[in-house]
Amino acid sequence: MNGLESRLERQMHLWQKRLGLDEWNLSLRLVRQSEIDSNSWGAAEWDPANRTGTISVLDPRDYNLRGGELKLDMECTIVHELVHIQVSPLDARDELIREEVVNRIMAALMNRPCPN
């Protein structure tokens, strides 16, 4: 695991605890754009029965940001994907509504708008 992955793992565990997901066994991985939706900066897969999951974050090589904005946006992506896991029991049928709720919660938690 490189320095970036270690920092992102620490951020994920911090936010996991803040969101009350500390009983979950979550892992984080960097992914290339070809591995996720073309308009995404991250993704989450989870199994609620076993409380396990994986947060995928876009590799910096495929990002349109640099420096501080890149670091902030990667953290925003982690929070965004963790919120998806947290609200998954609500299972909104409309994906646009679900995304709007997740984005509002993420922005409130981060206390600022995110670059992407």
Q: Is residue 116 part of a domain?
A: no
**Distance, CA of 97 to CA of 84 (rounded, Å):** 12
Beta-bridge mates of residue 45: 54
| pLDDT single digits (tens) 60-108 | 999 888 888 899 999 999 999 999 998 887 766 778 877 777 887 888 7
Confidence at residue 11, expressed as pLDDT on a 0 to 100 scale: 96
Residue 104, domain CATH: 3.40.390.30
- Domain containing 12 equals 3-110
> What total number of domains does the chain contain?
1
Confidence at residue 39, expressed as pLDDT on a 0 to 100 scale: 87
| pLDDT single digits (tens) 15-71 | 998 888 989 999 999 999 999 988 889 999 999 889 999 999 999 999 888 888 899
Q: Is residue 34 part of a domain?
A: yes
Confidence at residue 96, expressed as pLDDT on a 0 to 100 scale: 82
Query: What's the whole-model pTM score?
Result: 0.83
